[in-house]
Structures are given as C-alpha cells and as structure tokens.
Chain A
Amino acid sequence: MNAMIEDLKITKQTALDQIAQCPDLKELEKIRVQYLGKKGRLTAVLRQMGKLESEERKVLGQQGNLVREAIETALAESLQRLKLHETEQKLNGEWLDVTLPGKKPKAGKKHPISLVLDDIIEIFMGMGFSVADGREIETVRYNFDALNAPSDHPSRDEQDTFYINDDVLLRTQTSTVQVRVMEKNRPPLRIISPGRVYRADDVDATHSPLFHQLEGLVVDKGIAFADLKGTLEIFARRLYGENTGVRFRPHYFPFTEPSAEMDIVCFSCDGNGCRVCKQEGYIELLGAGMVHPNVLKFCGIDPDEYTGFAFGMGLDRAALKRYNINDMRLLFENDSRFLTQFS
C-alpha cells in the first residue's frame, strides 16, 4: 500500500513535469492519454487497488482522485496556454495587406433621371398622390384641343411638334395625362404622371428631341391657389432641402389660369446672381396653375363644383441641376463611366 501511494506520488510528479515542459497541443494529448487514458499510468496504478482491503482502498481511492484532479487541472491550464500560443503563432503568420482593394459585389446603377424621379415620387406619395401612366403617341385632340391651346397656337406647328398624321402626334407634354385621367376618374383626384415627351428640337447641350416630364394634378371641391403654393413649396423643400427659398411668379399656359412658374433660389450663388442662374438669383423649377375651366369642362367636370391645380416639370433638367451635369446629351449617350457616377 505504501508502495502504491509512493507510486501515485511519482506518477503525479512525472505527469506534472511532463505537462509543464510540453511544447504543443499534440504532445499534450499524448500526455493525457499516457496518464489518464484507459491504458494510462494512473489507471494502471488504480487498477491494482482491487487487491487491497476496503479501508486501504478508500484511502488510496481518495489519493488517486486527488492525483487525477491535479493532472487534469495541469492539463487544462497547459491546454489553454498552448492554444493561446499556437493561435498567436498561426495568426502571426497571416499578415494581410489591408490597403489592397476589396472585392465589391457587382451592383448596377440607376439612370440619373430615374434617381430624381424616384425621389419625386416618394415626396408626392407622402402627400397622397398616386402615379398614373400615359401614352406617348397621342391625338391632337388630347395634346392641344383638350388643353385649351388656341387652334393657331405656334406650338402646333410642324416646326415644334412631331406628327404621325394630321390627327396623331408624339405628345409634347405630359399634360395629356390630366385629360385622360379626368375623363376616366371622378374627383377627388391626386395624381402625378412621369413620362417621355417629344419636341422637334435639334440635339445640343440643353435640348433634346425627347425628354422627360412629370405632370401633377389635384382636383377636388374647394381647391385653391393657396393649396398649389403650399403643396409645391413642400415638394421643393423636400427635394432641394428645408431651407430652399421658393418664389411663384405669374406665367402663361393655355390650360391653367391663374398660371405660375415656381423658381427656387439659385443653389450656386444663394440668390446673389451668378452664371448658373444667368444673374437672376433664381432657377426655374416648374410650371403650375389652376386647371382652366375649359379643360375641366372638356373632361365632363363641372368647374362650378370643382377646382384643381396642375403642375409640370422637366426631369432631365432636374437631373442636370441635381448632379451639376453640363450637357444634356450625356443623359442619352449612356456611357457607363457616366452612369456609374450617381446613386
């Protein structure tokens, strides 16, 4: 029995020595098996316990457990130390050049006109407007007659408008949607309608025979010019910033009366006058007005019962302004180096 206790002591001491000197995790596992495994030294010592009296067995058992615990504790400590060390070693070997470029997922970019349009739609939707579609090949009736354009209005000339035949043309304004919407739907109405329009302008830095407009229309009982102002002021401030200065000045459109143009204070000079605003201090943003009673009548809406306002703006110019693009042609050339600049 004493020999066995001595044996335990020696086993413990050699195990702890070996653990302390163990260089890596692999070796440590070997040590664990060597002492604590089924065929390990500690197991072998304890197996001899069978020969002993029960009293002695109890003492030896206690001693044996203490030795096991000591070895296990030493193993655990060593494991932690070695793991730390080995991980450090491994990571040290993994130097990385963080200045090299990342692997970007390929993502496409929206066209600048769409970007501006999406923002505008969001703003108006927040004020209860829905989005309506309209056709591009239109009738003279919808493009001019219904919109109260005088029969000899110069915009009807072939020099300004693309015709398919005497009665059919490429619409020159999205205002056609006003008529189509009012013919089909009864007030109250709150819609916007973006789309392509066509005018016989030669291509240059500020003109294109095809461009994009956004039309808006509100019709209800008791709609006033003051509502037009309030609604469009909110729009301008949401689009160009809360501090954007806005002014409305009288203008003329055949299909609205009273009519107005809305200007915003030039963002380039803050209203002092510069090249961007041609010294005016303001930049024209959109045209608007109270829907002309003749237009309401054409659509079968009683102008004594209902009033409304309409507005229209060029999306291409809005995009040019927003991104400081100096040539409208870029919008239709679609060079990917251009397209990928905006988001």
Chain B
Amino acid sequence: MSQPSGDRSFPLPSQIDPVAGAEGWEEMYPYFSRFQPEDDGRFWFYNSMHFPEVVPAFDGITSEVPYTAIGANTARLFSFPTTMGIEYRIVNGRVYITANPVTDPAQIEARLADFQERAGHYYAHWDELYAGWQTRIEALIAEIEAVEVPRLGELDDLSVVLESRGYASNHLLRENFHRCIDLYSKMWHHHTEFLMLGYGAYVVFFEFCQQAFPEMGDQTVARMVAGMDVTMYRPDDELKKLAALAVELDLADLFVEGSEPDKVLSGLAERGDAGARWLAALEEAKDPWFNVSVGDGFYHHHLSWADDLTVPFAALPRYVEQIRAGEDLTRPTERLAQERERIADEYRALLGSEDERAAFDQMLGLCRQVFPYIESHKFYCEHWFTTRFFQKVREFGRLLADRGVLAEADDVFHLRHLEVEEALVDVSLAWASGGAELGARHWQPIVRRRKKILEALAGWSPPPALGPVPDSLNDPAVKMLWGITDETIQTWLGAGDLDADSVRGYAASPGVVEGVAHVLMNVNDIGAIREGEILVCPVTAPSWGPVFGKIAAAVSDIGGTMSHAAIVAREYGMPAVVGTGQATAKIRTGDRVRVDGDRGLVTVLRETP
C-alpha cells in the first residue's frame, strides 16, 4: 500500500481494546502473527472474506500457509513488478492483512524484466501448464486421501518385523501428520500458482470494459467471460439430478422440509429396489461431487457434503417439489452460452474502431482461456483437498482422544499444528516406553480455556480496517482478490454518514425486494433458512448454491461483484448487495428489510421488537 498521509485513520492496532473473557488469546496463534508497535503506521484491512469467524488455534494454519504461498508466487516466482506479498496479523481471533508494495522505480524496472519472462512463459503455455496443474492437484488429493493414521496396538504388526521395515509405527505418527501439513502447504502453492495471473487477465479486460462502457455493470463483464461447464456448479447439478430421480422412482414423499438425513436414509432403506437405486445414485454422485465444503475451506468445521449430508439434504425437498411441479432444473447451458456470445458480440459492435474491437477480442479471449482455472481451482483446493485435510487431522485428533490426551477428537482443532505435533510425541513416547501419556493434564485445561476464549471473541465486532488511510490503494493483489479499492475505504469511512437503518454495499445483482432477514453467521445453520427469506451473511461459498433456490435476496458483509453470492444471485435473478462490511452486525434475524440491488442499499424497515 502507498504511504499514508495521515489525516484520516481507522483505529490503530494498538488501540484495540481487550475483549472481556478472552484474555490470553495470543497463545492460540504464532508469535509472528501478532501486531507489532510499528504496525500502527501501516494500513490493514480485515480479511472477512476468508475469515468471517473467529479463528480456532489449529485453523491459524489457513492464514499462515496461504500467505506463505501467495507471496512466494507474486514476490519470488513471477516477480510482479509493483507488489511483493501479503503480511497478516491476528488480533482478537480475526485476520488482518496488508500488501507490501514495491515503490522504488529502479526495483520495479528490474522486477519487470523478470516478470515479463516468467509470467509471459505461463501465459504463452497456459493450456499445457494448466493441464499439468490438473494432474498435479489430483495427485495431491490422492496423496492426502492416502495418508494413514497409524494404529498403535499392543504389538506392532508382524509384517513390520518380517519385512524388516526398520521403524515402528509410532514413527509414522509424526511423519504422517507432517505429511498432512506438507501436502497442505504444497496445495496452497499450487492454488496460488495461476491465481494472480488468472485474475490479472480478468482485471485488465474488466478495466478496458469500464473505460469503453462506463455504465456497464461489473456483472455484465463477468457474464461475457463466465464458462458454461463450471466445476463449482456440478455439486448442485448432481443434487438436482438426484431430486429428479427421487420423483421418477416415486420416492418424493421421503423428501420433505425439515427431515434429517438419517431419517431420509432409513426411509429409503425400507423402499426396496427403488430406494436401493436412489442410494446407489447418491454414492455415485458423492465421489467426487460431494467433496464440496459447506464453507469456503478456511475452517475445520466446514465439512464437506459427503462428511455431513445436512446441507445437500436440506436442498432436496425444494428441488423435488419443483420437479414434481414440472419445472426443468437443468442449467440451460446452451441458452446461456448463446447469451454470452450475444452480449459479447453486441458490446464489440458498439466499440468505436477496428483497433478497439481487436483489443477487445484479445482480452476477452485471454480471459476465457484463464477462466476455467479461476472457476475450478476452488473445487480442487479449498473444497476437495481441504475437507480431506481437515478430516485427516480429525483422525489424528481421534487417536489423541483414544489415547486420553484430548477429551474428544475435535479438540485437536484447539491446538496449534506445532502443538499437535508435540502431543503426538507424547503418545509416541508413552507407547514406546509402556508408560502413560501426560497430555491430559496439560492439554485439556488449555482446550477448555481456548473454547471459552473463542466464545468471548465471537462477540467482538472487528473494524473493517486498522491504521491510517493510504493516499491511494493500488495493490493489484488486494484489488483482484478482495475487491478493495479507494471507494471501498470511502464506504467504510462513510458508514457513519448513513442513517442507522441502512447499510451500503456493491449493487451485485439488480432488483428491489422486501422481506424478512435471516442472519446466518455459520454455514452449518444453513438448513434453518426458510422459503422467501432474505439471506444476510458474512460471505457465501459455492456450496451454498442450493439455498439460493429458496431465498428472495442475498446480502453479504464481504465480496465484490465477482464474489460467489453475486454470481449466483444473478444466475437466480434475485437482488443482491455484497461487500456491505456490516450487514450481519446491523441486521437481525426477523428484521423486515428492503434490498435494493440496483443501488447497493439495504434498509431495515421495521426492527423486530
């Protein structure tokens, strides 16, 4: 970020008040994630897009590792001329970030030459390199799925001796846990490998469109670029197919609103051949398409659909009902593809010169080339890989619980990953020595304390930004990934100017609608959303797709017009206002609100008594 001139400021990091009951929260995160005195002179913003909730101790890895990877790519691999990487800090359980700019013209010049060679290589060989990426990421997923949590029996397996393996199974406690961490790190390097280059192509086309057609909405640019066969839509598509099959097999009566997955599954088991066929189809769809996280893959409690059928099964009744009513739920990809071409053709025709039309075609073509990566990488990285990763860690947690170190498996997520390793050494030693693990006395009070700290921190409202306002915010990474620009900061600063009943954000999907708000802080509560309600949430993830069939409008705290909520809302033709910064803080469930997707304004009409 550029150096601030200093007359306007958000609260400084050092001015943040402690939260009662959360004393000692610092121990949950590594020392290098803490604000330093000199950080008061820099501008930081709350990364609520990725970290809308308080970060548990283990989940600190989801900021530590991604920032080691993205910065390495921009700063050290591709040599982006004007930016190094992103620094992060955690305060009161929330992640704040800032980008490190390169401002020295000589250094920018030097980095530019390398950037052109390196980024040029990737762009010039994009399809071939992306095919290689696909192979690598799938291999990585196979690797994380194959990691075994060792079984520590009374004696090690005979085969270890007969094959003279040379090391006992307690060795694998550390090695295999470490493999999980190593693979997770590698996944994030893969994740960010194409990320900035891909978004870069998009942003350049976007800026061209804005200049040529100042009134063109962001969403229209996205529509010209969006792919048709999008991996992230597949899970929802599979669900719709299952709903159709339920109708076809005369099983529709089992799928009624409010039914628990277990009840539905046992009901199916009693329905003979038809039930068996449906269950077989479910199994077929699950691999790999239910490997989609109910969140964005940054928290351990974001389980996959396969891990917990609540979310997909909450969507099925409505789909079943729609299909019975004769609706066709399949995505009209042919029509969408034609519409995409028509829109692009019409804008091209409106350009003033052959030169501009040629430049438009180049940029649009490049965007469409890179978009399959942008649209699909999340499924492989944040969803499939990450949900498998957390399940493996959970298995190590189960081992720690079985050995008495932890009270229950999920308590493992209240330890930092280095602490988990330490606890595993305890088990390893106890198994080897024939003694007892000493961890129960050590870790269990820590876990209890940290659970209380998390509860206390959940009530804290993090400011959208900290520190002095920069003269201008021009970091490409911040703009591309978080959609944060000078205007965003103005909105945050001006939040006090609006009347108390309104919040302002990006007009992400047009239309105006009034209805009852449902504030959803945690994705696991998604089943509670009722037909016709207005979803108000910190951020939405692709797996929330099904809920969009029910709601009348969507409002989010974070996100730009390329955010998931915006894209899906447009797809469903419902109003959406995103990036409000504070909707979940100002709106309560049951409030009657008006969502104006044309102007980006949400107004509370009458608060619940």
On whether the two chains bind one another, the answer is no
A positions within 8 Å CB-CB of B: none
